[in-house]
């Protein structure tokens, strides 16, 4: 039998118990955490917010908590977001130099895409930097490229119901998303056809680490007024080429 420490550790123990529960269930509501720990919901909410503050948990569209990027790094060691920014920035610059449009680097946080780096183009009519923003992954090109790498079970965990609507659009059925992601896997890149915002077209592809895991998405975005959909295959060819070079760096 393990020895119980003599010093007060209730709060720390509860946080560790929540981490274990999160690893088992992969989805945790405040009421579930409170019941598991035998504490008030307000206490459970405070503990979960502490995990969220340190990126060990993220909230999904239904306000449930899921493993966050810091938690995933413990389970599957890989490059941190800061490492990715440092190593991959020159590839963003290369992508921008070749296409002359705004280019972003993003990572998956739960069912959201976090924009972590950008090289913005100089055109008067341009897509601005989204660095720091968290958008629904299923409406961004880089986010969809990363979602396409998940297993069916992981995808169901992230989207237990139909997806929330994109701006100005209707809710999206999970079956429709699965069809989109199957197409992404076949062609090797994802598109955003005015799904995140009207007037924006984007193309994204995955960057993988040494173990072959998709850890980031590279994307180029352009105003639809200057970039017709007929240009998407041209953009995709360059994005894939640069993503492969970025993968080699990792």
pLDDT of 85 reads 84
By residue range, what is the domain housing residue 193? 81-249
pLDDT of 179 reads 93
Find out whether 65 and 58 touch, Cβ atoms under 8 Å. yes
Distance CA 148, CA 122 (A): 32
| pLDDT beneath 70, residues of the chain | 1-9, 72-81, 164-170
Whether 174 and 124 share a structural domain: yes
**Inside any domain, residue 36:** yes
Query: Per residue in 14-27, pLDDT tens?
Result: 888 888 888 778 88
**Inside any domain, residue 223:** yes
pLDDT of 204 reads 97
Whether 133 and 30 share a structural domain: no
> How many other β-carbons are positioned within 10 Å of the β-carbon of residue 92?
22
pLDDT of 170 reads 65
pLDDT of 164 reads 67
**Inside any domain, residue 4:** no
- Residue holding tokens 């060691």? 77
DSSP tag of 216: E
pTM: 0.71
Q: 84: Cβ–Cβ under 8 A, 6 or more apart, which residues?
A: 105, 107, 116, 117, 207, 215, 216
Query: Per residue in 215-233, pLDDT tens?
Result: 999 999 999 988 888 999 9
Whether 66 and 112 share a structural domain: no
């Amino acid at each position: 039998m393990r020895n119980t420490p003599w010093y007060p550790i209730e709060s720390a123990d509860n946080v560790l118990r929540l981490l274990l529960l999160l690893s088992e269930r992969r989805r945790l509501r405040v009421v579930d955490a409170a019941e598991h720990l035998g504490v008030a919901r307000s206490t459970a909410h405070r503990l979960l917010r502490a995990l969220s503050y340190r990126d060990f948990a993220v909230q999904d569209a239904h306000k449930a908590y899921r493993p966050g990027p810091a938690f995933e790094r413990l389970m599957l060691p890989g490059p941190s977001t800061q490492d990715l920014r440092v190593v991959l920035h020159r590839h963003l610059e290369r992508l921008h130099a070749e296409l002359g449009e705004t280019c972003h680097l993003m990572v998956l946080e739960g069912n959201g895409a976090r924009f972590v780096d950008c090289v913005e183009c100089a055109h008067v009519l341009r897509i601005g930097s989204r660095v720091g923003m968290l958008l629904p992954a299923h409406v961004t090109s880089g986010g969809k490229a990363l979602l396409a790498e998940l297993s069916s079970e992981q995808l169901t965990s992230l989207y237990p119901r139909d997806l929330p609507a994109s701006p100005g659009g209707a809710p999206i059925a999970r079956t429709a998303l699965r069809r989109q992601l199957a197409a992404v896997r076949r062609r090797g890149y994802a598109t955003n056809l005015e799904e995140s915002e009207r007037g924006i077209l984007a193309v994204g592809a995955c960057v993988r680490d040494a173990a072959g895991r998709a850890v980031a998405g590279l994307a180029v975005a352009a105003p639809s007024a200057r970039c017709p959909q007929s240009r998407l295959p041209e953009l995709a060819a360059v994005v894939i080429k640069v993503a492969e070079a970025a993968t080699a760096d990792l």
